[in-house]
Chain A
């Protein structure tokens, strides 16, 4: 089957810094991939290649069989992206925020409203209570859930997430991960998820890709990743272990 996402021999050099070196990564439709690595390893840049926020110095990025070039605005409407914070538009109501992509796609108002109502209800944000409020009146966790709804409402076949839950406490984070996974599992969504949290990577990713110093150093299905002998993988696993009480 053709790859949903294909990164072929991509290098990215910014000034005198090499951010990505000859990365090749193919992701099949419906696959969930967690990109993990240390800060500055290049995992966020790798993700940004996929929505055109970063442009390779050499190599090709292909999404759904078409290279990522030309009119990116239209392509981006079919790619759901969650950034490091919900980054809701503060001057728009919750409904208007969630309706952003449907409006860009030209959905009619009834369809948009019904989809928003259903999605917000699944995220435990009752439409009648939240739709006409502004983001600043919501808690951090609620804003995050609106962010999930805004990214997913148009059911994009590809979903990109850049540490979307990094700013919330562990309990809210867990809830968000679960509602997020439930939504993801509704359909055959291809997902690329950047995180530096190994537990999160293993929870959301069927396949784990470890990036270090701009290169892919380990790329395995979850179970094989856990058994990997690669030294950096071992260090990540050791760091994530909770010490036993003595």
Chain B
């Protein structure tokens, strides 16, 4: 039993980390593009807003019949988690960049920084506290949604919960539920710590 919980927890962590990493790798560049092209950006934000409102079990249901990305298994679970993680990451990155004092952005321009130098040297560092908040929210949501991912064969701690429900076995349900809740709390604490460090480094209180 113990090794089963350990394996499920590990699997859960891998699914969440992979999904949030993909969402960040896509979401941060999307947010940068959205700030550069506000009209296009607003439209895109509305689309991912809508995705966020789809109940998770329904989203899994939509994904199963899709070719390549869908089906039964861990891939479908990860795709759904990426879609859910996108909104907090994109939204917070946009807020982080647009929230920078316009005079500071202007200072970077008038000193002769190129677009790229401004982005990497000024905008992203100053948006970092907000980006970290987005990653924290995305991770916590993903840990929760991943438990439901077990319904489409995604594995992880949800498998124990669903099996426990089917067997009317409270101990088994808790053997999945407690580690899942613990993971969420741990992730929240971890990111809060990093946010505080970043705020101290970059001089902002999130």
Residues of A within 8 A of B (CB): 51, 53, 73-79, 81, 83-85, 87-91, 100-101, 104, 134-136, 150
Tell which of A74, A89, A91 touches B201, judged by Cβ atoms closer than 8 Å.
A91
Task: Enumerate chain A residues within 8 angstroms of B111, measured Cβ to Cβ.
Answer: 76-77, 81, 100-101, 104, 150
Bound: A150/B108 CA distance, A: 11
Instruction: Give the bracket for the number of chain B residues in contact with chain A.
Output: 20 to 34
Task: Enumerate chain B residues within 8 angstroms of A136, measured Cβ to Cβ.
Answer: 203
B107, B113, B202 interface centre (most CB from chain A within 10 Å): B107
Are B113 and A90 in contact (CB-based, < 8 A)?
no
Given A75-B112, A104-B117, are A87 and B201 also a contact pair (CB < 8 Å)? no
Task: Enumerate chain B residues within 8 angstroms of A87, measured Cβ to Cβ.
Answer: 101, 103-104, 106-107
Closest chain-B Cβ to A211's Cβ sits at a distance in Å of 21
Question: In the complex, given contacts A83-B106, A87-B101, what are 7 additional A-B residue pairs having Cβ atoms less than 8 angstroms apart?
Answer: A51-B110, A53-B109, A85-B103, A87-B103, A90-B104, A90-B203, A91-B125
Tell me whether B3 is interfacial, beta carbon within 8 Å: no
Given A75-B112, A104-B112, are A90 and B126 also a contact pair (CB < 8 Å)? yes
Can you report 22 residue pairs joining A to B where beta carbons are below 8 Å apart? A51-B110, A53-B106, A53-B109, A53-B110, A73-B112, A73-B113, A74-B112, A75-B112, A76-B110, A77-B111, A79-B110, A83-B106, A85-B103, A87-B101, A87-B106, A89-B104, A89-B108, A89-B122, A90-B126, A91-B202, A104-B113, A135-B203
Bound: A73/B114 CA distance, A: 6
Tell me whether B163 is interfacial, beta carbon within 8 Å: no
Residues of B within 8 A of A (CB): 101, 103-104, 106-114, 117, 122, 125-126, 201-204
Tell me what chain B mostly uses at the interface: helix, strand, loop, or mixed. helix
Tell which of A74, A76, A83, A104 touches B103, judged by Cβ atoms closer than 8 Å.
A83
Bound: A73/B122 CA distance, A: 15
Closest chain-B Cβ to A218's Cβ sits at a distance in Å of 28
Task: Enumerate chain A residues within 8 angstroms of B106, measured Cβ to Cβ.
Answer: 53, 83, 87
Are B203 and A77 in contact (CB-based, < 8 A)?
no
What are the 3 tightest A-B residue pairs by CB atom distance, in nearest-first order? A77-B112, A76-B112, A81-B110
Task: Enumerate chain A residues within 8 angstroms of B110, measured Cβ to Cβ.
Answer: 51, 53, 76, 79, 81, 83
Task: Enumerate chain A residues within 8 angstroms of B203, measured Cβ to Cβ.
Answer: 90-91, 134-136
Bound: A34/B159 CA distance, A: 74
Tell which of A79, A81, A91 touches B126, judged by Cβ atoms closer than 8 Å.
A91
Task: Enumerate chain B residues within 8 angstroms of A53, measured Cβ to Cβ.
Answer: 106, 109-110
Bound: A50/B113 CA distance, A: 16
Bound: A88/B202 CA distance, A: 12
Task: Enumerate chain A residues within 8 angstroms of B202, measured Cβ to Cβ.
Answer: 90-91
Are A90 and B204 in contact (CB-based, < 8 A)?
yes
Closest chain-A Cβ to B102's Cβ sits at a distance in Å of 9
Closest chain-A Cβ to B71's Cβ sits at a distance in Å of 45
Bound: A77/B117 CA distance, A: 13
Closest chain-A Cβ to B107's Cβ sits at a distance in Å of 4
Closest chain-B Cβ to A162's Cβ sits at a distance in Å of 10
Bound: A204/B9 CA distance, A: 69
